[in-house]
Amino acid sequence: MKLSTSTALKTTFAASLAFTALFSTITVLPNSHAYAAEAIVSAESAPKLPKVQVIATGGTIAGKSVDETSFQNYRAGTLLMEDMVKSLPNKDQIADVSSFQFGNAGSSSYTMQQLSSLSLKVDQALETQDGVVVTTGTDTMEEIAYFLDLTVRSAKPVVVTGSMRPWTVIGSDAQANLYNAIKLAASGKTKYYGTVVMLNDEIHAARDVTKTNATRVDTFQTPMTGMLGYIDEQNIRMYRANARALMSADKWATPFDLRTIKSSSMAKVEIAYSYQEAGAGAINGFVEDGAKGIVTAGTGTGGVSKAIGEARAKAIKEKGVIFVSTTRTGSGSNYSSGDGMIAGDSLNAAHARILLQLSLSFSKDFKTIQGWFDTYGSGQVNIPTK
Ligand code: ASP
């Protein structure tokens, strides 16, 4: 297709602006010389924008508020991603954006079976896209993101985002988060990092990030070790690599290939919280209910009450239940392991549950599962041989 000079000029000018915005740290304004040179370039040779698909699941980001100042009075999972993307200004300068409406619900309403379908959908999209953005509610975002991190096969960027304020209020973080998530996915900068979470301009590893506040927009934090990087308009800065990014290519993909199991047969895994004089009821009830694994959110370095300790020993001995020990403190590592018990390192209870559930869905062997926690579950960085 041949374009008129003025159409070609506009097309190439827009594309060059887009690429300047995306990949350059210095904004270069076009001068008359560059203008003249580009005017003869046809649309066929204009650089192609990276393809990014936004896979939407709902949450506050798709929320419709009662009015423009109802920050907390809104219906989450209401707006459609197609319309949200359409209304985003300047998106054509950063990526060739498409959308897929996977669902429109609150994050905690998704079943693990549905999350398996979501993960497969992400991989399917990455066959043709350069990156994927998944929008979810923030309540269980850290679990959804870690599930994707552990299951998606492609090393291309997967960026999870959402918002703390609905799309339709003044000063919403929704539009900025969606825009920056698309920009991050298009940049390719998180390739091999696994799934990352991006809100409030900050980029966090799915394994490590947690929601720390019920209402504030800076709720997502990585305790102790901090974020991976951040976004300052066109400058996407990655300041450190997570354990995943430093894994050798042959070990990069996890053993949790969802194409090889029935998602309806995911193992039942629960979380038991310990506190002053905590009773045995939760553990006994979970076991009776068919739990194959239980994560304890213990006190300090993973301690549990006497009653929980006794119920745990019984469940391991009599039912072969596998336990993972974590701390309820919100940060720090955990080293308590033993027969039937795995140390959760610095995984929080919600993250440890995702890994234990996937592990038990792929193996019943304690040593194998412990090995997966020590490798794929570990947050520790190993520098590849030089
Ligand atoms: N209830 C919402 C959800 O998790 C909250 C949010 O989106 O931030 O879906």
Question: What was the pLDDT predicted at 383?
Answer: 84
- Note whether residue 94 is domain-resident: yes
- Note whether residue 259 is domain-resident: no
Kindly list the protein residues whose Cβ atom lies closer than 6 A to any atom of ligand 1. 59-60, 76, 106-108, 137-139, 162
- Note whether residue 257 is domain-resident: no
Q: Report the domain count for the chain.
A: 3
Report the CATH number at residue 105.
3.40.50.1170
Q: Does 81 lie in the same domain as 202?
A: yes
For residue 341, how far is its CA from the centre of ligand 1 (angstroms)?
Answer: 33
- Note whether residue 228 is domain-resident: yes
Residue-wise pLDDT tens digits, 244-287: 999 988 889 999 999 999 988 899 999 999 999 999 999 999 99
Extract the tokens encoding 137: 């509610």
Report the CATH number at residue 348.
3.40.50.40
Q: Does 195 lie in the same domain as 125?
A: yes
Q: Does 176 lie in the same domain as 68?
A: yes
DSSP E strands, the chain: 51-56, 64-65, 74-75, 96-101, 131-135, 158-161, 195-199, 202-205, 210-211, 220-221, 229-232, 235-238, 269-273, 293-298, 322-327, 341-343
- Note whether residue 383 is domain-resident: no
| Candidate of 139, 167, 210 to mutate for ligand 1, largest count of ligand atoms within 8 Å of Cβ | 139
For residue 54, how far is its CA from the centre of ligand 1 (angstroms)?
Answer: 17
Q: Does 161 lie in the same domain as 105?
A: yes
Q: Does 210 lie in the same domain as 111?
A: yes
Q: Does 40 lie in the same domain as 69?
A: no
The closest-lying atom of ligand 1 relative to the alpha carbon of residue 105 is 9
Nearest CA owner, ligand 1 atom 3:
137
Q: Does 302 lie in the same domain as 247?
A: no
The residues of the chain scoring below 50 in pLDDT are 1-43
Q: Does 55 lie in the same domain as 41?
A: no
Q: Out of 60, 140, 210, 327, pick the active-site residue.
A: 60
The closest-lying atom of ligand 1 relative to the alpha carbon of residue 163 is 8
Question: What was the pLDDT predicted at 45?
Answer: 61
| Candidate of 73, 108, 138 to mutate for ligand 1, largest count of ligand atoms within 8 Å of Cβ | 138
Question: What was the pLDDT predicted at 385?
Answer: 78
For residue 214, how far is its CA from the centre of ligand 1 (angstroms)?
Answer: 10
Q: Does 117 lie in the same domain as 75?
A: yes
Nearest CA owner, ligand 1 atom 1:
106
Q: Does 125 lie in the same domain as 90?
A: yes
The closest-lying atom of ligand 1 relative to the alpha carbon of residue 138 is 8
Question: What was the pLDDT predicted at 196?
Answer: 98
Question: What was the pLDDT predicted at 47?
Answer: 77
Question: What was the pLDDT predicted at 304?
Answer: 97
Clarify whether 385 is annotated catalytic: no
Range of the domain at 29: 5-45
Check if the beta carbon of residue 205 is closer than 8 Å to that of residue 254: no
The closest-lying atom of ligand 1 relative to the alpha carbon of residue 164 is 8
- Note whether residue 19 is domain-resident: yes
Cα 283 to Cα 112, 287, 288: the distances in Å are 21, 6, 9
